Amino acid sequence: MRALTIDESGLKLRRDYPKPDRADGESLVRVTMAGICGTDLELARGYMGYRGVPGHEFVGIVEQSGSPGLVGQRVVGEINAACGRCDFCRTDFGRHCPNRTVLGILGRDGAFADYLALPDRNLLFVPDSVPDEVAAFTEPVAAAYEIFEQVNFAASDKILVLGDGRLGAVVALVLYAAGLNPVVAGHHRIKLDRLSALGLKVELEEKLKPAFDCVVDCTGGPQGFLRSVELVRPRGKLILKSTAAGNHALNLAPVVINELTVVGSRCGRFEPALKALADGTVDPRPLVSGRYPFDDALAAFASARDSSNFKCLLQIA
Amino acid sequence: MRALTIDESGLKLRRDYPKPDRADGESLVRVTMAGICGTDLELARGYMGYRGVPGHEFVGIVEQSGSPGLVGQRVVGEINAACGRCDFCRTDFGRHCPNRTVLGILGRDGAFADYLALPDRNLLFVPDSVPDEVAAFTEPVAAAYEIFEQVNFAASDKILVLGDGRLGAVVALVLYAAGLNPVVAGHHRIKLDRLSALGLKVELEEKLKPAFDCVVDCTGGPQGFLRSVELVRPRGKLILKSTAAGNHALNLAPVVINELTVVGSRCGRFEPALKALADGTVDPRPLVSGRYPFDDALAAFASARDSSNFKCLLQIA
């Protein structure tokens, strides 16, 4: 099958990559569409030493499964394949299972390929009314909904989404859909204008002034943490939504002096995200900056690296 | 008056230091006893560029005040002198007033002197039954009680207090007094044995194994944060109780990946602390490692720097 792979020499589009083995309890999914995320760009740069097929935002059709009801169904899939037996799994937190593999990120080939394998229990049916380019956003929208599992907001909270990239845009849309009124800030006038046209309040990053009740750091870089600490009020909340790989020179003293609460936030449950996409509460289509045939995957990655773009999608089947 | 001062050349005991001016709404307090804290040792090393008199843990007698009821009373005092007019002050969070001075830490001479000045509203009467060496612990005990204002614990929570210094010991005693069962860990067998004799569970730091529901970092150093991140479970809480001045090479990726909640925690309200000291819920006297006449203040600082000691007290009057 075709697969985009990462090895020592970087990204490569291969045509002879073996189809994934489907273990007991797993389904083989023919990927129809997949989205490129900042994590994929990081993995391609060597983050976590990942080797194999990246990609974890997808929609596809089940071709083989031990569960006959799944075959032929259009599905999206939660990306953490958990053991099902540990304390985390028993309390419905398989996303933190220490024995987990993660689709396209950790120990399991991902979605930038003709086929992927995931446990049956990870798969959710996609209603016919939801087009592929919307369903492909389920994973990042779920990651945004994760914030509501971790933090309570007041309607009057002054919320800043720091970072005008694909993640910041999705987070801002989800907060806005929940009746909150976040400011999105970044360095790219062109993207801020697009977000403004969606009803969001926007601001150039260098014009921001303290103090926000909550800052959601979606910058993907260590400077985002430092800037967030400057912009949040004492006793405020700082939600770290993106990871910055490696060590960086950071000063935690302001976290203590201002008694900040810093909340790390990663993957979320798919169910509320898919519901919001299906009923139109969240419509991510204005964030699509390009659709690329899979054979042009390397060009799609180049486009995803262009900071004037939001989401680039791969049309795989 | 006598005062211990910090200037470019470090700590100095002076005999000719001017008495503090008492502003409107403030009292002049004759300090009887004061405790040396890790922050004082940091300030003496140059932290925050502090110049003046350090010291913020004290008990004393009011000598002059615009409030006649205060004169002659034995008092302790909250260390943040707030403006009383800003949003933080209006919501009872003067500890975060942006216009505040802080006794012996920021813009206000402190307690290692014959006299100090504080706003009348900062002062709390000390019951006669509470000896000076207990009352002098009100500030650090209040800082420990602050944790309960910020974090909810379950009785079954596995809690680690990382750091067997004076702050870790006080935090552990306060958690224990609240019916929790923390493990205190550090590098000093002699101090761990003393804490064990008080009923606390103790462990050598290098023998610790994950995973704790909550880690309270009382180490005062950047390695404490890194070690805490290793020891807390996914979705667990990390309470930063001590500051490490300056920038350090830190990796926040595990905070995001494991969805940790990091809570900065600083000063607390004196009222619950003084109550716990007065009714014997918390008895800090086993933590006194030495009492020094004020004229031996430099020797007391040397002793406080000795990591085999807990709290060193200065007998000032």
Residues in contact with A193: Cβ distance below 8 Å, sequence separation at least 6, in sequence order = A202
Cβ-Cβ pairs closer than 8 A, A with B, add up to: 118
Which pLDDT band, with edges at 50, 70 and 90, does A25 fall under? very high
pLDDT 10s digits, B1-50: 999 999 999 999 999 999 999 999 999 999 999 999 999 999 999 888 89
What is the four-CA torsion angle of A166, A169, A172, A173, rounded to 10 degrees?
-110
What is the four-CA torsion angle of B49, B52, B58, B62, rounded to 10 degrees?
-140
Strand ranges for chain B from DSSP E: 3-7, 10-14, 26-35, 57-65, 74-77, 80-81, 101-103, 107-108, 115-119, 123-125, 159-162, 183-186, 201-204, 212-217, 232-240, 248-250, 261-264, 288-293, 311-315
B234/chain A closest Cα distance in angstroms: 6
Q: Do A257 and B242 touch (CB under 8 A)?
A: no
Q: Do A259 and B150 touch (CB under 8 A)?
A: yes
Task: Mark which residues 88-107 of A lie under 8 Å from B by CB.
Answer: 88, 93, 96, 98
Does A245 have pLDDT greater than 80? no
B255 close to A (CB below 8 A): yes
Q: Do A252 and B244 touch (CB under 8 A)?
A: yes
- For residues A234-258, average pLDDT: 90
From residue B301, alpha-carbon distances to A172, B42, B141 in Å are 52, 11, 21
Task: Mark which residues 37-66 of A lie under 8 Å from B by CB.
Answer: none
Helix or strand run (H / E) with residue B174: helix B166-177
Which pLDDT band, with edges at 50, 70 and 90, does B244 fall under? confident
A270 close to B (CB below 8 A): no
Tell me the three state secondary structure of residue B196: helix
Q: In angstroms, rounded to a whole number, what is the distance separating the alpha carbons of residues A146 and A50? A: 25
Backbone angles phi, psi at A115, to 5 degrees: -135, 150
A262 close to B (CB below 8 A): yes
pLDDT for the residue B14? 97
pLDDT for the residue A103? 98
Which pLDDT band, with edges at 50, 70 and 90, does B170 fall under? very high
Closest to A16 measured CA to CA, from A28, A30, A2: A2
Chain B residue numbers with beta carbons less than 8 Å from the beta carbon of A250 are 247-250, 252
Q: Do B252 and A260 touch (CB under 8 A)?
A: no
CB B110 within 8 Å of CB B202? no
Which residue in chain A is spatially nearest to B235 when comparing CA positions? A96
Q: In angstroms, rounded to a whole number, what is the distance separating the alpha carbons of residues B142 and B174? A: 9
Q: What is the mean pLDDT of chain A?
A: 96
pLDDT 10s digits, A34-85: 999 999 999 999 888 899 999 999 999 999 999 999 999 999 999 999 999 9
Does A242 have pLDDT greater than 90? no
Does A146 have pLDDT greater than 90? yes
Task: Indicate the residue of A88, A241, A245 with minimum beta-carbon distance to B253.
Answer: A245
pTM of this structure:
0.94
B155 close to A (CB below 8 A): no
Phi-psi region of B117 (alpha: psi -120 to 50; beta: other; left: phi over 0): beta
Q: Do A259 and B247 touch (CB under 8 A)?
A: no
To probe the interface with A, which of B252, B258, B261 has the most A CB atoms within 10 Å? B252
pLDDT for the residue B247? 86
- For residues A222-244, average pLDDT: 93
Tell me the three state secondary structure of residue B59: strand
A233/chain B closest Cα distance in angstroms: 9
A204/chain B closest Cα distance in angstroms: 25
To probe the interface with B, which of A86, A93, A252, A261 has the most B CB atoms within 10 Å? A252
- For residues B202-217, average pLDDT: 97
Which pLDDT band, with edges at 50, 70 and 90, does A295 fall under? very high
**A57-65/A26-35 β-pairing:** antiparallel
pLDDT for the residue A221? 85
Tell me the three state secondary structure of residue B107: strand
Q: Do B222 and A252 touch (CB under 8 A)?
A: yes
- Name the DSSP class of A165: S
Q: Do A244 and B252 touch (CB under 8 A)?
A: yes
Q: In angstroms, rounded to a whole number, what is the distance separating the alpha carbons of residues A15 and A12? A: 10
Residues in contact with B92: Cβ distance below 8 Å, sequence separation at least 6, in sequence order = none
Exposure string for A178-191, b = 16+ CB within 10 A, e = fewer:
bebebbbbbebeeb
B310/chain A closest Cα distance in angstroms: 22
Task: Mark which residues 174-213 of A lie under 8 Å from B by CB.
Answer: none
Which residue in chain B is spatially nearest to A235 when comparing CA positions? B96
Query: Can you spell out the DSSP letters for A87-154?
Result: HHHHTT-GGG-TT-EEETTBEE--SSBSEEEEEGGGEEEPPTTS-HHHHTTHHHHHHHHHHHHH----
B161/chain A closest Cα distance in angstroms: 16
Closest to B159 measured CA to CA, from B146, B134, B178, B143: B178
**A201-204/B101-103 β-pairing:** unpaired
Q: Any alpha helices (H) in A183-315, and if so which ranges? A: 189-197, 222-231, 253-257, 270-278, 297-305
Starting at the edge strand found earlier in the chain, the sheet holding B101-103 runs B80-81, B101-103, B107-108
Chain A residue numbers with beta carbons less than 8 Å from the beta carbon of B145 are none
Q: At what angle do helices B189-197 and B166-177 cross, to 10 degrees?
A: 20
Task: Indicate the residue of B234, B240, B260 with minimum beta-carbon distance to A255.
Answer: B240
Which pLDDT band, with edges at 50, 70 and 90, does A243 fall under? confident
Query: Can you spell out the DSSP letters for A18-43?
Result: PPPP--TTEEEEEEEEEE--HHHHHH
Total residues belonging to chain A: 317
pLDDT for the residue B242? 85
A303/chain B closest Cα distance in angstroms: 26
pLDDT for the residue A222? 85
Which stretch of A108-122, A225-239, B73-87, B234-248 has the lowest confidence by average pLDDT? B234-248
A9 close to B (CB below 8 A): no
From residue A35, alpha-carbon distances to A12, A92, A137, B241 in Å are 17, 26, 7, 41
Q: Do B262 and A266 touch (CB under 8 A)?
A: no
Task: Indicate the residue of A250, A258, A263 with minimum beta-carbon distance to B247.
Answer: A250
B258 close to A (CB below 8 A): yes
B150 close to A (CB below 8 A): yes
ipTM of the complex: 0.94
pLDDT 10s digits, A153-197: 999 999 999 999 999 999 999 999 999 999 999 999 999 999 999
Does B246 have pLDDT greater than 80? no
Q: Do A150 and B261 touch (CB under 8 A)?
A: yes
What's the burial of B298, exposed, middle or buried (CB within 10 Å: 0-12/13-18/19+)?
A: middle
